[in-house]
Structure 1
Amino acid sequence: MSLRIIVTVKHVPDATGNRQFAEDNTTDRDSVDGLLSELDEYAVEQALRIAEAHGDAEVTVLTVGPDEAKDALRKALSMGADKGVHVNDDDIHGTDAIGTSLILAKAVEHTGFDLVVSGMASTDGTMGVVPALLAERLDIPQLTLLSEVAVDGTTVRGRRDNDAGSEQLEAQLPAVVSVTDQSGEARYPSFKGIMAAKKKSVAELDLDDLDIEAEEVGLTGSWTAVDQATARPARVAGTIVKDEGEGGRQLAEFLAAQKFI
């Protein structure tokens, strides 16, 4: 029986751009270019490795977001994923992590799955809670923050590293796993892969398809909200201390004034 792998991916603002909030205190995604979250590339890579080792597997990439989010799917498809699923609905705007986990859970169930693979966090929100929330909603085991992951029959195994040591974890499928940026370098899409991605299918779903009420998600349904945001102050020129015999004293006075010493 074919192994059905779903990878959750996110289209995020480029971290090198001038990111800011919109008038409703949500992320302004129109003022900066977007791309596939770098941490999700590791999830795509691990899903592809599992599929290659299994021999009979299908990798589906799933994203939630506006029209531009399809670019994240195309990047993952060019890496080698088989097909995509895009949940797109105007009422999703402003959804927090809890609402996102609901949409993902419904979409995963709608698509059909054996294993869900996620990155350790998104590079915009950086909360890292969605994989656990997703597993809870699906009522299946979770193995999170894995540096290694593999599937053997109906068992998924992985290694989680921390400051104190390493843990060997396993669970029966179906399950949710998240992988870290130490799990293995993501492959670079080849020209052939980029061209092939244009022909791969991307299913479009909205809230009605997933039997989700608009009030359950979006700004209205969010359990969290940004009340106020202040722009980061512009960078100013630093202080230059010229050593003309008193440099050490001037440096100490500067550090003391900044409460560094």
Structure 2
Amino acid sequence: MKVMTAVKRVVDYNVKVRVKADESGVDIGNVKMSMNPFDEIAVEAATRLKEAGKATEVIAVSCGLAQSQETLRTALAIGADRGVLVETDAELQPLAVAKLLKAVVEKEEPQLVILGKQAIDDDAGQTGQLLAALLDWPQATFASNIEIDGDTATVTREVDGGLEVISLRLPAIVTTDLRLNEPRYVTLPNIMKAKKKAIETVKPADFGIDPSPRLKTLKIVEPPVRKAGVKVPDVATLIEKLKTEAKVI
């Protein structure tokens, strides 16, 4: 079974982002970039399936700038066998990414595609669902456990009311939640091995796809500064402030 994962290059989660002075976007100049954390979980899940003998090959795919090769190298160091970069400098939105991934899926013919449930830069959480719709494949989102038995995947999903277990006929799409696994620490020997693994670079035009954005961002602003809280001596004072100052009761 061939497994494909998708990885995205984002601002590292430890970095405090800053909005540009003209409010046109987030300033990423000289900012540390890393693999989207949910995508790390997806690559780890695919690697564990291979180690368990359930998968024969793991392919990591990224869409974006040439620098996304660094993100693919990290995926290869975790355990992916080879990478595919769909290189473009266009502003990629979820539908465009889903179309590009669909083209790669049709070329590579994997039986399972594992993606992070969302990216920490836009928090859209749409790409996996859009890809499933475009391919007309079954999907399981927010997975906290994946089991493969032949051509069937049993996925435990995290939902508002608890856990839901569903069975999918492969090929299928799965998006990962935080509790699916803890990605392994990437060791220096594996980093060196990853440098020898192949990364194929293609362009959206090779698939006849125009990745131009369909939505326009008018401006990006920082959230308003919250006022400092105050302590009240008793419940009566609290209720009075909620009535007269906050006006919520």
- TM superposition shift of 1:99: 1.4
Q: Give the distance between the partners of 2:143 and 2:78, measured in 1 at CA.
A: 21
Tell me which residue corresponds to 2:37. 38
How has the CA–CA distance of structure 1 residues 235 and 195 changed in structure 2, closer, same or farther, with 3 Å as cutoff? farther
How has the CA–CA distance of structure 1 residues 208 and 184 changed in structure 2, closer, same or farther, with 3 Å as cutoff? same
Asked if 2 retains the 8 angstrom alpha-carbon contact of 1:142 and 1:177, the reply is yes
Could you tell me which of 159, 165, 178 is aligned with 1:168?
165
- TM superposition shift of 1:96: 1.4
Could you tell me which of 205, 214, 218 is aligned with 2:212?
218
Asked if 2 retains the 8 angstrom alpha-carbon contact of 1:110 and 1:210, the reply is no
What one-letter code is carried by the residue in structure 2 that aligns with 1:14? D
Asked if 2 retains the 8 angstrom alpha-carbon contact of 1:26 and 1:94, the reply is no
Aligned: 1:67 with 2:66: yes
Tell me which residue corresponds to 2:125. 128
What one-letter code is carried by the residue in structure 1 that aligns with 2:103? K
Aligned: 1:229 with 2:220: yes
Could you tell me which of 137, 153, 159 is aligned with 1:140?
137
> What secondary structure sits across from 2:41 in the alignment?
helix
> What secondary structure sits across from 1:32 in the alignment?
coil
> What secondary structure sits across from 1:176 in the alignment?
strand
> What secondary structure sits across from 1:67 in the alignment?
coil
How has the CA–CA distance of structure 1 residues 21 and 172 changed in structure 2, closer, same or farther, with 3 Å as cutoff? same
Q: Percent identity of the aligned residues? A: 29
What one-letter code is carried by the residue in structure 2 that aligns with 1:7? T
* Structure 1: gaps of 5 or more residues: 242-246
Q: Give the distance between the partners of 1:19 and 1:112, measured in 2 at CA.
A: 38
How has the CA–CA distance of structure 1 residues 64 and 184 changed in structure 2, closer, same or farther, with 3 Å as cutoff? same
Asked if 2 retains the 8 angstrom alpha-carbon contact of 1:19 and 1:31, the reply is no
Tell me which residue corresponds to 1:244. none
The CA deviation string for residues 14-36 of structure 1, in whole angstroms up to 9 with x for no partner, is 23324245669355443422100
Q: Give the distance between the partners of 1:89 and 1:39, measured in 2 at CA.
A: 22
* Structure 2: gaps of 5 or more residues: none
TM-score scaled to structure 1, two decimals?
Answer: 0.82
How has the CA–CA distance of structure 1 residues 48 and 32 changed in structure 2, closer, same or farther, with 3 Å as cutoff? same
Tell me which residue corresponds to 2:17. 19
Structure 1 residue runs of 4 or more that deviate by more than 3 Å after TM superposition: 20-31, 231-236, 238-241, 255-261
How has the CA–CA distance of structure 1 residues 55 and 131 changed in structure 2, closer, same or farther, with 3 Å as cutoff? closer
Tell me which residue corresponds to 2:105. 108
Q: Give the distance between the partners of 1:45 and 1:231, measured in 2 at CA.
A: 34
How has the CA–CA distance of structure 1 residues 164 and 110 changed in structure 2, closer, same or farther, with 3 Å as cutoff? same
Tell me which residue corresponds to 2:177. 180
- TM superposition shift of 1:110: 2.0
Q: Give the distance between the partners of 1:26 and 1:94, measured in 2 at CA.
A: 12
Could you tell me which of 4, 7, 10 is aligned with 2:5?
7
The CA deviation string for residues 164-219 of structure 1, in whole angstroms up to 9 with x for no partner, is 23221111111111111101111111221111001000000101221213xxx223
Asked if 1 retains the 8 angstrom alpha-carbon contact of 2:102 and 2:135, the reply is yes
What one-letter code is carried by the residue in structure 2 that aligns with 1:226? T
Tell me which residue corresponds to 1:201. 198
> What secondary structure sits across from 1:209 in the alignment?
helix
How has the CA–CA distance of structure 1 residues 135 and 53 changed in structure 2, closer, same or farther, with 3 Å as cutoff? same
How has the CA–CA distance of structure 1 residues 59 and 258 changed in structure 2, closer, same or farther, with 3 Å as cutoff? farther
- TM superposition shift of 1:52: 1.6
What one-letter code is carried by the residue in structure 2 that aligns with 1:73? L
The 10-residue stretch of structure 1 (80-89 or 99-108) with the greater mean CA deviation from structure 2: 99-108
TM-score scaled to structure 2, two decimals?
Answer: 0.86
Paired positions, count:
243
